[in-house]
Structure formats: C-alpha cells, structure tokens
Chain A
Amino acid sequence: MARQTHLLRVNGREHEILAEPNRTLLEVVRDDLRLTGAKEGCGTGDCGACTMLVDGRIVTSCLMLWPEAGGHEVRTIEGLADGSALHPLQRAFIEHGAVQCGFCIPGMILAGVATLERTPGATRAEIRDGIAGNLCRCTGYQKIVDAIESVAQAPAGRD
C-alpha cells in the first residue's frame, strides 16, 4: 500500500504528512500530529465526538480520509482559543457547568461555534438543532444549551 504525501493545514500550521491513505483525518490528527482533543466515540459519524471544522464547516473527521482534507483549512478544539484567551463558548461551557466527563465537549463546542456562525442569536430550539449531531450522555444537554444560549444572547454577540 503506497503511502502518500499531502499537505495538511491544521489550526493555521502546515504539516507535510506521509501516511497510508486508508486512515481518517481523525486518526492522522490524533496519532501523527498528537492533537488528541477530537475523540472517536463511534467511528460511523453518529456521535459527533470527532467533529472538526473544515473550511469553517463542521464535519465528522472519522468519516473523512485524511488526504481529502488536503488543501483545506482544518480547525480542531486545540486551535479555538487565542493563546490563553478562551473562545467565549469555552468560557461559557466552564461557567455553566456544561462540562462533565468532557469526552463529547471538544466536538460539542465546535458544533456550537458552527451553530452561532450559521444562526447568530440562535434560540434554544435552533441550538438544539445545531448540536443534534453531537451526543452527550452526561448532561441531558441542559447546561450545554444554557452555555451556548448565553453566548448567543450576549449583547456583543461573540467577543
């Protein structure tokens, strides 16, 4: 099986990756780039724990072959904060108690980012729709929706 080389741009940094093409974007980002924030919960696109942003749109990285991401801008949870300054959603998740075991949280926050991008000022129902691809078993979604809503309804929007 021939390995292939492609450029992968992750969180603003370009990586030249040499790997077999039968691996997913999730595997390469976790195992080769050692960015383990994105998780594999099902491997079949049904739980959203592996969610990454590709060109600003959320995808399940467990169902994308890594060479397919070549030429695109990939963003993971590790690239969301600006240095030590957390994204407002990250802060809101902590403050509202939206984080329990934390396994779904990296994907959930990115789904929240996409939801607010698509629907600024999203209602609770729109937030629930926006994160419906991300399963959480700890929270009953209550405080996750609270956290995203607090940012959606913040006067300045996202700061």
Chain B
Amino acid sequence: MTTIERPRYRAVGEREPRLEGLHKVTGRSVYAADVQLPGMLHARLVLSPHPHARITALDTEAALGHPGVVAVVTADDLARAARDGSNPARGASNRADALFADREVVFAGQPVAAVLGESYAAAEEGAELVHVEYEMLPAVLDMEAAMEPDSPLARSPVSDIDHTEEDAHVTIDVRSEEAEGRATNIASHVSFERGDLDEGFARADFTVERSYRAALVHQGYIEPHATVAAYDAATGEVSVWTSTQGQFHVRDTLMRLFKLPETKLRVVGCELGGGFGGKMIQSATVATACALVAERPVKLVFTRREDLLAATPTPGSVVRLRSGITSEGDLTALEATVIYDAGAFPGAPAAVGSLLISSFYRWPNLRTDGYEVLTNHVSVGAIRAPGIHNITHALEQQIDAMARGVGLDPADVRLRNAARTGDLMASGKPFPSIGMAETIEAAAAHPIWTRRDAARARSTETTKVGVGLAVSGWLGGLQPASCELMLNSDGTLNAVVGVMDISGVNTSFAQIVAEELAIPVESVSVNTGDTRTAPYAGIAAGSKTTITMGRALREAAIDVREQMFAIAADQLEANPADMVLAEGEVQVAGSPDRALTFRRLAAITTGFGSLYTPIVGKGAISARVQAPGFTAQLAELEVDTVSGNITLTRWATVQDAGYAINPLSVEGQMEGGTGMGIGIGLSEEYLYDDEGHLRNAGLLDYRMPTAADTPDIDSVIVEVPSEEGPYGARGVGEPSITAGGAAIANAIHDALGVRVAEMPATPERVLRALGRLAD
C-alpha cells in the first residue's frame, strides 16, 4: 500500500527477487565457516568464568602437551602477532583492540586465550587444560548503583572511547562527553535542554512520571561469528575470510592492530549470515592474531555459547521520564534520564538515544540527561537502530499514558505533536525531510486500529484482548561510497562494490543500473569484491547502504551512459545530446535505425587498435543529508490472565521508505525488524545471576521468537521522498525494530489496564503487574 502516487520507472520500484537467491536455496553460498584451507588449525577460546578478577597466573603447559595442540595464544603473545612487536591488547580501552584479557578480566565470558589444535576436538580439550588463576575483584552489576560516587569501579579507567559502533549507524553532531581523569563508572554523559521545565509542567493538565527498564539483548544472527585467517610467512601476505558487515573496517582494524601494510592484507567479507549491527569485528582479530603467531591458517568459529557470552550484544537500559500534557493534547514538558549499561567497555548509544527521545515530538520544554555506564556485564555493541528500542519502549508508553490520562486518542496525540520536516531536534539541528506524520496517519487508518473495539470485545474472563500503537524512527548514518561499473563484451554490465550485501542491496543496485541504462535487471551483475579488488565502501549498517552506495551506482551508470553516448555520437556522426537509450542500444533520438548496440559499443572500445577507451563508469559520492525513516506499529494480542502468556494475533508495521526501490526487499526489512522487535518485547533477555554469570547462554533459554510465536505481519509502505536518496529512497533496515516492544506494552495495557514497565513482557512480569504473584 502506498499513500502517495509513486513516480513511474521501468526497473526501480519493481518487486525483484534477490539475485543470489538461487545460490542460497541450493546451499551454494559460501559463508566464512564454509572456508577450509590446507593445513588449517582450529581455534578454541578460553573464557573467563568470572565477571571481574585479576589474572595472577596463566599456565599453558598442560594444554601444549596435549596431543594435537599446536599453540596457545594469550595477551602476552600478541607482540608476536604485531609486525613491529607492539602489543595491541596492552592497555586497550576499546573492545576491538582487547583481543584477550590483559591481566584483568572485566566480564564473565571475556576471552583469555585461544588454543590451536590440529582438530576441533584437540583444541577443545586443550582449552580445558589451560590453567588460569584469578584473584576476585568486586563485580559491578547494577547500572544505577554503578553511578553512585562510592561504587566500586567496573574496570581500570579507560580513555579514548571508540565510537565506531555508534558512528557506523548514525551521524549526529553531538557526542557524549567522556569523563576523563575521574575515577567513575560513568563513561560518558550527554544532556539536552530547551525552554523552561517548571513552566512546562505548570501548563500541563496531566503529568505522568514513570520508570522503564529494557533488558540487554543479543542481535540473534543465526550465523555465529566466524573467520578463517591465513598468513604466508614467505610472502608476508595475510588473507582473512570473515563474517562482517564492513570488510574495510576489518581491514583497517587489522592493519592498525598488527601493523600490516594494506598491500599485504586482503579481507574477504564472505556471505553474511546475519549481522543486525553485531557483526563488525570479533573473530577476525583473534583468528588473525592466531594465524600470525602460528604461521598457519586458523579457523575460529564462535560456538553459540561464546557468541552470547563474548560477542557484543546490545545494552539494557533504565529510562526515567516525567512529562506533561494539556487537556487539548499538547505536550508541554519532558524531563528524561536515559541510562545505558555499556558493560565492560564503552560504546553504548547514549548520545543518539538521548537525542531521539527528546526529538521525536515537539517538546517546548525539555531536559534530558543520558549516561553510558560501565559494569561487569558483557561489553555491548550496536543493533538495528542501536539504543532506540529502549527509549521507544519508555517514550511511547509515556505518550500512551498521557493520552489516556486526558481522554484523547493516542494516535491523535502523536500526530498532533509529531516532529515535521525542518523542526529542530534537541541538538538544534533541523530534521531533514521526514514522514513521521504520514506514517502515523497510515497506522491510524489501519483496520487493526480502527476496529480495535471489536477486537477488545472478544475478551473473556481469562483472555483479554488489547491493541497497542507505537511510533519511532531512525536518523540514519552517512559514509562516503564508491563503485565501478564496466561494460562487458556481450553488452551486459558488471558492477564491483565493496559493501556487504546484508539486505538484498545488490539487487537494488542492479535495478538502479538497469533503470539508468534502460536494460533488463538480468543484464546487470553486481559483485562484491574484497578489500584489494573493490573500491572503498563503508560499513553496511545504519540504514545507509542504499542511500549512499545506491547513489554511487546511479552516478556510475550515468557515467557509463555518457561515455556510451559520446562514442556512439562520434560513430553515428550525431550530437551526444541527441542520443537516447532503447532496449540495449544507443540510438539517435527520432532515428531508431541509426543505433549502436551495447555489444557493438563493447567491441569497438576493447578491440585491437581501438581508438576508444574501454567503458568503465565510476561512482563516488560523499553523503551530506540523512534520510530518516519512521515506523508506526500496531500490535493486537491476547493475554491469558491465568498463565500470563501473550499471544500476538495481528500485526501491522507501517514505515516510510521514501521510495521503495525494491518493495519486496523493503517489506523483508520491515518484517525482519518487526520480528526482532517482537522478540525483544516478549521473550529475549540476558539473565544474569547475582554474581554476574550469564545463566542463559544458549538458544533454548535465550528465547528468540519461532515461527509459531510470530503473527502475520502486514507491511504498509509509506513513501515520503528523501532529499538525497536515489529516487527519494530512505534507509529502511533499522526503523522496523524500534517500536515493537512498545506496541506490545501498550497493547498489554489496553488489554489489562496495567503497565508492564520492564521489557520483555514475560508471563511472570505480566502476572506480577496484575498482582497475581506475590514477591
């Protein structure tokens, strides 16, 4: 469904099945763990069992004596990996650099060593024989207690916070301030202020003050982190096959850590088995270090347990809100405290979370404080729209409570106060073109919303039905992008890009090239090169790939077209300005018989003695204007008031895609993000014991929704064009995850009249909210 009339194109805008689908349904695609090299060793990790401790002894002798064990690599051995003898892990203050714990372990599950074996079993057995002695240090496990001045410290003080995870996903002008020089667990603090809070609350007819919690959750990609790294001592070449969203990011990191020249380093981003913000670099650093030390190829594939314990899931949070509304439905003031549990290394999205909680609605008066707090939980990374499902769960319940408090329709209140294009964000920067209001309007017109009274009427004594609405969005990231596009001798085109295809973007790129060159999509092959064959590309994250690389492809196609026009005009003795494209030919406008086929153009630009240069198009762009995407989601659910179980019965996800270049894959992004939001809302959470050990490091008890837990999802695409995205497209990957948990929470309130302030809304929490369960 679209709400505005779509511009007509020939190739873009069509539902195009993924180009590489055939490889995937037949099991042909090569993922990192599928790579097997001669003489390859298997690496197994030794993880810290303690959340915070000092390593007092590390004995590898027994492990090295075990049959089949070739080497044990610890933090001390990293100087042998780096080409200049420096040790990257020494004093590392960001997670990517801290390959192994160096004297101090700061979370349970932190890698302490890797054991390399001729077989997986040998490495596994060797890992059990690595003897580590620990001296316990106090573990800091509660983010609010950690902020107290007298709290023990979660770790030795760090400086130079690495913001890659945040920057990969979003481009904002604000940066949370680092607490340098002071011994505190507050890694950074950001604040926004507007108007006069007291005045705002004085004007309010109704005020809501509540506190909300969201759990630490995992991105849940089905492919665990995996890398095969090889080092050839004779040539000094390092080759790395890895599972990453950004192969150039992996290249740059390995170069920096191990002082490798880029001419000797090749990173191959393999087919990616899901990333969702969590696949930057984890296994590649360790595997490469091991290969450099052992001088043999090394395969490191995380077990699921390791991936849950030692990768970079995304933070839990506490959000405290006080806000006011007038009886007409005007928001008057927001006072917000946003706290993210960063785990043991800084990198939580405090800045963007605080910015967006303050900016989605027109608050005339506001004060927001955001904190990123260090604890001895696993260090966190990004997820789709990092930090935003947390703040949306709080903000959208708050809006719902305020609307109900003054007896207004929650959709109307949202629409009345929603940010519009040009409104100032809390940072003072204006929103570029946004479609928040159009998105809310489409949701409010959806049958799940308009017929919610009929749904509620299905309620029985023990089954209560409710409908909830929540709205959110994502600003999107910006990063330069470049690509090449070459005319083949049969008249088809090959494109080379260096960005990882995680959402079907290569198919959209083919559509863009086909559009600009008026050829069928099947005549375009989009190829992901490695870091030595592809031009530079950013990380596939932040919903920016289509809007940046897509623009580059469009430029490259236009470049090819102009080159073809110039050559054809010369051959046909016509003016380049009079050239047109038609069915794989360049024609003189109005004289279809005066034409050169693409195949002929290829022949005359590549033949012996050709006077023309080969046709190679270049696309290189720097991005300036973001293309934020908004979503509105509707949950209809049944609560069993005896068991506390929730059954989702209907769902709609509305999203502004700007312009859907490939509606099939746009829907896929909306449905996938919705599925994740449902898991975060209902069943997924890291469960720690009182000592800081993760109790559910497996997919049985870390409960991602199955097909049987997931309802049919009605995807409704809204198209409000962006300024710079190709054909008006916006980033679509991230908004869809943001609003699900909040929509569920609002639906539960609609059904029961009570709020579940903690996410996920597990049966036990629902029963406690109902007062059915004594504490």
Contact = CB atoms under 8 A, between A and B. Distances in A.
A119 interface: no
A58 interface: no
A20 to B, nearest CB: 7
A138 B675 CA distance: 8
A40 B222 CA distance: 9
Nearest to B28: A37
Nearest to A125: B708
Interface in A6-34: 20, 22-23, 27, 30-31, 34
B562 to A, nearest CB: 34
Contacts of B715: 142
B222 A34 contact: no
A34 B28 CA distance: 11
Interface in B1-52: 15, 17-18, 20-31, 33-34, 36
Contacts of A141: 671, 675, 707, 710
A135 B503 contact: no
A105 interface: yes
Contacts of A38: 27
Contact of B25 (A90, A127, A132, A136): A90
Contact of A132 (B274, B700, B706): B706
A67 to B, nearest CB: 15
Interface residues of B, number: 61
B746 interface: no
A127 B28 CA distance: 25
A143 interface: yes
B222 A135 contact: yes
B304 A90 contact: no
B671 A128 contact: no
B34 A44 contact: no
A143 B18 contact: no
A101 B665 contact: no
Contacts of B304: 41-44, 46-47
A153 interface: no
User: Taking chain B's interface residues, is the majority helix, strand, or loop, or is none over half, making it mixed?
Assistant: loop
A103 B674 contact: no
A95 B24 contact: no
Contacts of B502: 101
Contact of B672 (A42, A135, A137): A137
Contact of B223 (A22, A35, A101): A101
A129 interface: yes
B123 to A, nearest CB: 13
A92 B705 CA distance: 23
**Interface residue range, chain A:** 35 or more
Contact of B15 (A34, A97, A103): A97
A138 B27 contact: no
B517 interface: no
A22 to B, nearest CB: 6
A132 B710 CA distance: 10
B221 A137 contact: yes
A84 B121 CA distance: 38
Given A44-B698, A86-B25, A129-B708, A97 B664 contact: yes
A14 B636 CA distance: 52
A142 B304 CA distance: 25
A143 B668 contact: yes
A135 B665 CA distance: 19
A100 B504 contact: yes
Contacts of B704: 135, 137
A74 interface: no
A46 B503 CA distance: 25
A49 B34 CA distance: 14
A103 B273 contact: yes
A140 B222 contact: no
Taking each of B667, B671, B674, which has the highest tally of chain A beta carbons within 10 Å of its own beta carbon? B671
B223 A103 contact: yes
Given A46-B700, A93-B21, A137-B676, 19 more contacts: A27-B120, A36-B31, A40-B224, A41-B699, A44-B304, A44-B698, A77-B27, A86-B26, A93-B25, A124-B712, A128-B708, A132-B707, A135-B699, A138-B274, A139-B668, A139-B672, A140-B672, A140-B675, A142-B712
Interface of A: 20, 22-23, 27, 30-31, 34-44, 46-47, 49, 76-78, 80-81, 86, 90, 93-95, 97, 99-106, 109, 124, 127-129, 131-145
